[in-house]
Structure 1
Amino acid sequence: MESKKPNHVVVMAFPFGTHAVPLFNLVLRLAIQAPTLTFSFFSTSKSNQSVFGSTSNTNNIPRNIKPYDVDDGVPKGFTPKHPMDVFNFFIESMAENFTNRIRSVYGGGDEMKMMMIKCFIIDTFMYFGSDMADQLGVPLISFWTAGPSSLSTHYYTDLIRQTITLGPNGIDGREDELIDFVPGLSPLIRTSDLSEGVLFGFMELEFTHVKHKMGLALPRAAAVTMNCFPELDQPVLEDFKSKFQKCLTLGPLALTSHEYPSHTHDDPHGCLTWLEKQKKTSVAYISFGSVTTPPPDELAALAEGLEESGMPFLWSLKDHAVGQLPNGFLERTSRRGFVVPWTPQQQVLGHDAVGAFVTHCGWNSVMESITAGVPMICRPFYGDQRLNCRMVSDVWGIGTRIKDGVFTKYGMMECLDMIFSEEKFRAKVGTLRGFAKHAVGPEGSSTKNFKTLAKIVCDGC
């Protein structure tokens, strides 16, 4: 009897930060394109609940996407004292837990059921997926949720470590040394812009080893995909094309995901209604993503700068941090300021009242700001945020960084004045916005690359 063709695609999401949602949106497009395939979406229970929502909210999700929960690695009965505890437990056990869960879904010891799998789509952090795909002889798609330059620093980690020999004090005194020897990377990138674990910070943590391993695994993927477009980082992407089997830019995802049924939040706090009452490009929008909150002294300095500037502002600030604002700040600024715990960021940035984005420089936020044509004021904190900030301020010239890397009252006022008074920032980000729109158009690079990706995933189905 003839065996059935493989018709399952295994998706492995990284369940922290904003990694899972972009991957889900990509899978959503593929699931609509290939209704005869089943996309098995593996992530932790908490992440899946966030992505898929409650059962009542899944009506718009195609039936050929199936979520499966994976153990997060936290020992039963353990009470985390810090968010990093959960993260570290997950990292140390993710390869074993994902492998075991996938095998349990596909029959455990029944290798014939494993043969139902025709492709793997993984967050790039899930490097061990390369081994599973190799064992089954099926293609693997690696999806990088950040920017090309940050991926380059992980791919070339060994070269960077071999070229920059550090002393006992690490990069102390060498923070401004240029990384001008990595193929394609902007010569303006400095050692201090690198993510922790490349040259400094947490060198012995398991996550540092994970990032190194993922860099080494990239050439094994049938395609490395990312949320960007060529004009953002052409030299790095050209280098990738010579190193990877395929390098496919698919972004900005913010311009493609809205075409498909997806999990979209409404505007529970009335942000868009409030923006309707403001003048065009007059509002400073402040948000530091779902994870980061500046320290109390910086929150106070940021608030003082906003107050003295007289600028209208919309601030997405978690409830627990509101108490750290200066006494009377909310009352004194109530006529021109709006502080809420959550905003529909993509819609907010797209509103013509917003004239500047004060951001931590997470990649999704940077891409959404470019897509909306809004210049940025950058205060990065960790990971790829520092490198993204360097690209925004020094390479693309579409924003500025906070002086000395921390919020001060007068530093904030200076940045606001610069962004709102100098048209060069708005002009440059407007140019990139045009490239972004073309990329997702009928003849654009992202549209063509998605068709290439869909052919890899759907080949033979």
Structure 2
Amino acid sequence: MEKEKRTHKAHCIVLPFPSQGHINPMFQFSKRLVHNGAKVTLVATRFISKSLLGDAGPIAVETISDGYDDGGFAQAGSSGTYLERFRVVGSETLGSLIEKLKSSGCPVDCVVYDAFLPWALDVAKKLGLVGAVFFTQSCTVNDIYYHVHQGMLKVPLSEPEVVVPGLFPLQACDLPSLVYHYGSYPDFCDMLVNQFSNIEKVDWVFCNTFYKLEEKVVEYWMGKICPLRTIGPTLPSAYLDKRLGDDKDYGLNMLKPVTGACMEWLDGKPNGSVVYASYGSFAVLEPEQMEEVAWGLRRSNAYFLMVVRESEQAKLPQNFKEETVEKGLVVSWCQQLEVLAHRAIGCFLTHGGWNSTLEALSLGVPMVVSPLFTDQPTNAKFVEDVWGIGLRARADDKGIVRREVLEHCIGEVMGGDRLKGIRSNAMKWKNLAREAVDEGGSSDKCIDEFVAKLVAW
């Protein structure tokens, strides 16, 4: 079909890594592309597609195979086996999907792929399409992995302080855990480092951040590595610029949220009185750590809303829910953005995943970050020491964040001496996040430019 006969400006396939934390930002980016006149087909694995709940709206959803259609990652038995099989079978079935769409009269112009899946760029280039990589982690973290890939940051680390081009000096323990504890998860480390294996072939580089949040490292990338575009924060429009109508939720969820009970409970609490505690959709806490988190919340004497997935609830202390019913509510899942935006929330106790960090920052919610692995220690460093919007709860020699530490950090963020400065900084970053996606903002301009270039191409 000729471009001038289309009802859309361009057709983009968007391929996220098959997990909730990667689907959310890339699905939200897809909405922005549609708003700018593009057609988008979101591609999920066949296994993940069976568990997606919600409405994709104007975005088409198609599937490819990761080689494990009946069980996904769990069926593979190991991360290395899964990733290699996904590369082989995913490449083949993605190519077949693109050919199918072409023969059905809806040819694809561009593949926007998760940086975790660099083989998708090879498929796009083989078929003569534009390739755009989407980094779902911070530009800072990607900078660290890039320099490991280039051999400019040697691992295992040998010094307590590390200097990475584009960044100020960091303590080794502030680097992503896969770098600091090199060898802990070798398959995942290889995946993250190999995000850059073919980046010289890519046409566009997107990062889910905004310019003023990571200005120094973004400038470094623009001048030394490649023309990076910041297109974040990728939150539903209702929480930022409000230009996409009734866009209040990401739209596709792998877990069913408990919504009514959460909001009714929050409605009955004073402004800024509740600690919201969630360690995300993927993290698995050790039983000892779960117990420490639970007791830390109880000892804080604040109201708390605690998210513990069904598969994790057996790790809670015996009778914890019943004994804390006057102060706390424990749910299996919730609409995190709706909760964070509620007037009753005064603090977010989080693992510090990038999505959660951006959400809290964009909504002006102070944080207590208790990082577990991957990019979370680096995010925690920036939350506390660079952006000044919260505190890092540090682990002991066993790697456990103790209840006393959590109690202290929550007390400081909810009402301690640092509260005024933290809240002031939180409001500053909230306003800057909104400016980035407002019409004419830095992130908004990048998306406009991308769609316009696709039309010209």
TM-score by length of 1: 0.85
Cα distance per residue 1:277-319 (max 9 Å; x no partner): 1111111110000111321112212222222221110101123
Rounded Cα–Cα distance in structure 2 between residues aligned with 1:452 and 1:437 = 19
Identity %: 26
Rounded Cα–Cα distance in structure 1 between residues aligned with 2:185 and 2:279 = 26
Mapping of residues 260-279 of structure 1, within 5 Å? 263=251, 267-279=258-270
Rounded Cα–Cα distance in structure 1 between residues aligned with 2:123 and 2:22 = 21
Residue 17 of structure 2: aligned partner = 14
Choose from 319, 332, 336 the match for 1:345: 336
Q: Cα distance, 1:263 vs. partner?
A: 1.6
Cα distance per residue 1:46-97 (max 9 Å; x no partner): 333444x3xxx54x611xx432222222387x898x6883644431122222
Q: 1:13 to 1:308 in 2, by over 3 A?
A: closer
Q: 1:71 to 1:266 in 2, by over 3 A?
A: closer
Residue 45 of structure 1: aligned partner = 46
Choose from 47, 59, 65 the match for 1:71: 65
Q: Cα distance, 1:202 vs. partner?
A: 4.6
Rounded Cα–Cα distance in structure 1 between residues aligned with 2:257 and 2:342 = 15
Q: 1:363 to 1:270 in 2, by over 3 A?
A: same
Rounded Cα–Cα distance in structure 2 between residues aligned with 1:146 and 1:449 = 18
Choose from 83, 93, 104 the match for 2:96: 104
Residue 162 of structure 2: aligned partner = 179
Q: Are 1:74 and 1:86, in contact at CA under 8 Å, matched by a contact in 2?
A: no
Mapping of residues 87-98 of structure 1, within 5 Å? 87-98=79-90
Q: Say whether 1:194 aligns with 2:195.
A: no
SS at match of 1:61: coil
SS at match of 1:290: coil
SS at match of 1:323: helix
Cα distance per residue 1:399-421 (max 9 Å; x no partner): 11113252212111111111112
Mapping of residues 240-251 of structure 1, within 5 Å? 240-251=221-232
Rounded Cα–Cα distance in structure 2 between residues aligned with 1:158 and 1:438 = 34
Residue 315 of structure 1: aligned partner = 306
Choose from 16, 23, 28 the match for 1:25: 28
Rounded Cα–Cα distance in structure 2 between residues aligned with 1:344 and 1:458 = 36
Which amino acid is 1:414 matched to?
A: H
Residue 283 of structure 1: aligned partner = 274
SS at match of 1:426: helix
Residue 191 of structure 2: aligned partner = 210
Residue 401 of structure 2: aligned partner = 407
Matched length: 436
Residue 352 of structure 2: aligned partner = 361
Q: Cα distance, 1:114 vs. partner?
A: 11
Q: Say whether 1:223 aligns with 2:204.
A: yes
Q: Are 2:275 and 2:349, in contact at CA under 8 Å, matched by a contact in 1?
A: yes
Residue 294 of structure 2: aligned partner = 303
Q: 1:41 to 1:17 in 2, by over 3 A?
A: closer
Q: 1:104 to 1:363 in 2, by over 3 A?
A: same
Cα distance per residue 1:18-45 (max 9 Å; x no partner): 102221221222134325x4x3332212
Rounded Cα–Cα distance in structure 1 between residues aligned with 2:285 and 2:341 = 25
Q: Are 1:284 and 1:355, in contact at CA under 8 Å, matched by a contact in 2?
A: yes
Rounded Cα–Cα distance in structure 2 between residues aligned with 1:144 and 1:455 = 21
SS at match of 1:122: strand
Q: Are 2:161 and 2:171, in contact at CA under 8 Å, matched by a contact in 1?
A: yes
Q: Are 1:74 and 1:89, in contact at CA under 8 Å, matched by a contact in 2?
A: no
Q: Cα distance, 1:367 vs. partner?
A: 0.4
Q: Are 2:172 and 2:180, in contact at CA under 8 Å, matched by a contact in 1?
A: no
Q: 1:198 to 1:212 in 2, by over 3 A?
A: farther
Cα distance per residue 1:118-154 (max 9 Å; x no partner): 2111111111222233334432111111111111112
Which amino acid is 1:99 matched to?
A: S
- Bigger drift between 439-448 and 26-35 goes to 26-35
Q: Cα distance, 1:388 vs. partner?
A: 0.9
Mapping of residues 111-190 of structure 1, within 5 Å? 116-159=107-150, 161-164=151-154, 166=156, 171=157, 177-180=160-163, 182-190=164-172
SS at match of 1:407: coil
Q: Are 1:123 and 1:145, in contact at CA under 8 Å, matched by a contact in 2?
A: yes
Q: Are 1:440 and 1:447, in contact at CA under 8 Å, matched by a contact in 2?
A: yes
Gaps of 5+ in 1: none
SS at match of 2:280: coil
Rounded Cα–Cα distance in structure 1 between residues aligned with 2:91 and 2:406 = 48
SS at match of 1:19: helix
Gaps of 5+ in 2: none
- Bigger drift between 385-394 and 195-204 goes to 195-204
Rounded Cα–Cα distance in structure 1 between residues aligned with 2:79 and 2:63 = 16
SS at match of 1:228: coil
Cα distance per residue 1:201-239 (max 9 Å; x no partner): 25753x433323322433432221122111211111001
Q: Cα distance, 1:158 vs. partner?
A: 3.8
Rounded Cα–Cα distance in structure 1 between residues aligned with 2:36 and 2:122 = 27
Q: 1:456 to 1:320 in 2, by over 3 A?
A: same
Q: Say whether 1:395 aligns with 2:391.
A: no
Residue 412 of structure 2: aligned partner = 418
